[in-house]
Amino acid sequence: MRALQAVISRRKRATAWEVLSTMDHYDIAIIGAGLAGSLAAIALAREGHRVALVGPRPAIADGRTTALMDQSIEYLKKLDLWGEVEPLTAPLVAIRILDGTSRLFRAPPVNFRASEVGLDAFGYNIPNAPFLEILERHEAGLPTLERATAAATRFDIDGAEVRIGLGDDRSITADLVVGADGRRSAVREAAGIGVRTWSYPQAAIVLNFSHELPHQDVSTEFHTEGGPFTQVPLPGNRSSLVWVRKPRDAEETLTLAPDVLSRTIEDRMQSILGKVTTEGMPQSFPLSGLSARRFGKGRTLLVGEAAHAFPPIGAQGLNLSLRDIMTLVDLIGRPTGSRLPADTGDRFDGRRRADILSRTASVDLLNRSLLSNFLPVQALRAAGLHLLSSAGPLRGLLMREGIHPGSALQAFKEGLREQIRRKSA
């Protein structure tokens, strides 16, 4: 009886894909059409690959902004996107960290200036919604990129290819599938890749606001007992805000009248930008972390929040996702006329593991140090920031590492080699 049921099951599965020979075939199918998925699709299509970008358009406009660092901006220029994106942005010429706690061990102010590492700006702050609109226009102009606004509903991943069923009853096949479909990734689940998740007793409030005094292209991050309160410049006398609070405090903040909320933000910022006026409705997101057990497997690759997610600290989220995409494009290369290898996902996992795990751990450690009431932890955090404030070379190494991962270690090696050379000369 069980053998008969197995045969019937296999026949049903075959029937579901019986139009396989008439399916549209692509080199790469990207599931998820947010910022990470759209950027991956454009980058791969510009290399000449035939790409399917699958996923519905967002139902609600994303009110958040994204700070992209110098390495990411250079990649946008390479993709011929920066000319349209730049007018939306504000440069980040300096970042300052202020201790906004009332704890026994308080840290001194720390100022990071792009000029210290030879840059005009660390990066630029970009509103997400118009950024995505620009990407959609570029997608439409690429002859090897096809956009499907239906959801992907089923996957069959084997050694030969990937078969994908869509919500509009169509089916496609691809050599590789890229999961850019967020924290609850259907691609990750279909590939049998496990995930480690954790949560924080925090929620992030995001909004934009105008202010009386110019921000001078400086981002200010107040470290508070509930989490960071981060103001990031926008063009003109406007800024975006990410305010991490305890969930109950965040709920209460969302109920405040606009004038009361504006005054609350001004007080929290110690009026360093003068009078504040909030714009639109604030949005709130619970904070949690996620790391896939693998970032690729066989014909499956994971990018963006399908692979990694953590609190909005240190402008790491989309910058890390763009490094996923850079690695993906470099690994796949240009079309050769042959099918893409079945072990591409495994090789991608090996190349992305160190970067993703180290960034995830550092952001998690910093966030938990803000939440900790353990005095030795508070003392270590204050001492670390004091060291950064007073030690210019160390601060420079940290800034270089934040902008170009791996550069701090490379600079240290080069400095060590130079010292050895001088001693032996």
Residue-wise pLDDT for 191-206, tens only, equals 999 999 998 888 999 9
pLDDT at residue 352 in the model: 96
State the DSSP code for 414. H
Given pLDDT bands bounded at 50, 70 and 90, which one contains residue 91?
A: very high
Confidence at 412, pLDDT banded by 50, 70, 90: very low
pLDDT, residue 369, reads 63
* Band of pLDDT at residue 228, cut at 50, 70 and 90: confident
Residue 385, pLDDT above cutoff 80: no
Q: Which two tokens stand for residue 417?
A: 């080699």
More confident residue, 360 or 137: 137
pLDDT at 420: 55
pLDDT in tens, 28-70: 999 999 999 999 999 999 999 999 999 998 877 777 889 998 8
Domains of the chain plus CATH, in order, are 15-368 (3.50.50.60), 375-424 (no CATH)
**DSSP secondary structure of 228-286:** EEEEEEETTTEEEEEEEE-HHHHHHHHTS-HHHHHHHHHHHTTTTT-SEEEEEEEEEEE
- What pLDDT was estimated at residue 402? 59
* pLDDT the model gives residue 101: 57
Q: Which two tokens stand for residue 282?
A: 């604030």
Structure confidence at residue 398 (pLDDT): 55
Residue 273 CA to residue 210 CA, distance in Å, equals: 9
- Kindly report the backbone phi and psi dihedral angles of residue 359, in degrees, each rounded to the nearest multiple of 5, phi listed first: -65, -40
pLDDT at residue 364, rounded to an integer? 81
Residue 126's pLDDT is what? 93
User: Residue 160, SS3?
Assistant: coil
Mean pLDDT of 158-173: 93
